[in-house]
Amino acid sequence: MTGWVAIAGLGPGRDDLVTPEVTAMLAEATDVIGYIPYVKRVAPRDGLTLHPTDNRVEIDRATHALTLAAEGRRVAVVSGGDPGVFAMASAVFEALEGKPQFADADIRVLPGITAMLAAAARAGAPLGHDFCAINLSDNLKPWSVIERRLRLAAQADFAMAFYNPRSRSRPHQFGDALAILREECAPQRLVTFARAISRPDEALNTVTLAEATAEMADMQTVVLLGNSETRFVGRYVYTPRSAS
Ligand code: SAH
């Protein structure tokens, strides 16, 4: 059996932010599995079968990948950004757990440039000191867990990156998250809204926490909250590498 599963990150959007390792793997693959917009980013070619699927079936998608690999196929499971950041890598290992038929599966994880790092690079260096990443979607965890993490991370003065800040099905939660941050942080704390980074409709907007509104974010936005030292130098936002 020569099949494998490669779980790959396609980066934030632009082709030149896809790593050469991922490009080389895609040239070897026989199948590409992933959420529709990510599969669309892979160029079709003879001998390559594309399997675009809906986002809500991550474990089914992972099991499909493992099944095809067990049949000897070379399967690319693609995510945006990095596959280990709120994406498919964990789903594949979750699908593997407790399934002896896949015990000798050849699984590789190929890193990609995650949204928060692409966004931070655009802004300057807002994540230059200690930071954390929080997924604000409560699809897979209770909102109370998110609230607690936000509050404790703010008290510890972490800079933060918020993924999935706001969607049509959860319109109020990002406003609730901002309210918690306003209780814990000074009003002049800097917040960067980084939308569609590295894509044609990219937009970057840094405001104070006092000025931030929930409408400034959507599902294509990653939000970077500075720590208490984060500041502007010229038009760049940066966080010093030392803490006071
Ligand atoms: N695995 C991905 C994250 C998947 S969660 C990664 O590592 O980047 C999807 C969320 O990522 C979006 O709601 C948004 O918050 C963020 N995101 C992904 N691509 C982005 C981009 N090009 N610009 C800004 N945010 C992005």
203 Cα–ligand 1 center, Å: 14
**What is the mean predicted confidence (pLDDT) over 54-76?**
93
34 lines ligand 1 (CB under 6 A): no
13 lines ligand 1 (CB under 6 A): yes
d(CA 50, CA 9): 16
Contact partners, residue 166, CB within 8 Å, separation at least 6: 136, 173, 174, 214, 217, 218, 219, 221
11 Cα–ligand 1 center, Å: 9
Single pTM value for the model = 0.96
d(CA 78, CA 74): 13
pLDDT at 54: 84
76 Cα–ligand 1 center, Å: 19
Mutate to test the pocket of ligand 1, among 41, 140, 222 (most ligand atoms within 8 A of CB): 222
Structural domains of the chain sorted by starting position, each given as residue range(s) with its CATH number in brackets: 4-113 (3.40.1010.10), 116-238 (3.30.950.10)
In tens, the pLDDT along 75-124 reads 999 999 999 999 999 999 999 998 999 999 999 999 999 999 999 999 99
pLDDT at 169: 82
Q: Sort 10 into a burial class: Cβ within 10 Å, 0-12 / 13-18 / 19+.
A: buried
Closest by CA position to 75, among listed 35, 111, 112, 107: 107
pLDDT at 99: 94
The percentage of the chain sitting over the pLDDT mark of 90, rounded to a whole number, equals 91
Average pLDDT, the chain: 96
In tens, the pLDDT along 129-154 reads 999 999 999 888 999 999 999 999 99
114 lines ligand 1 (CB under 6 A): yes
- Residue pointed to by tokens 């800040």: 165
pLDDT at 168: 80
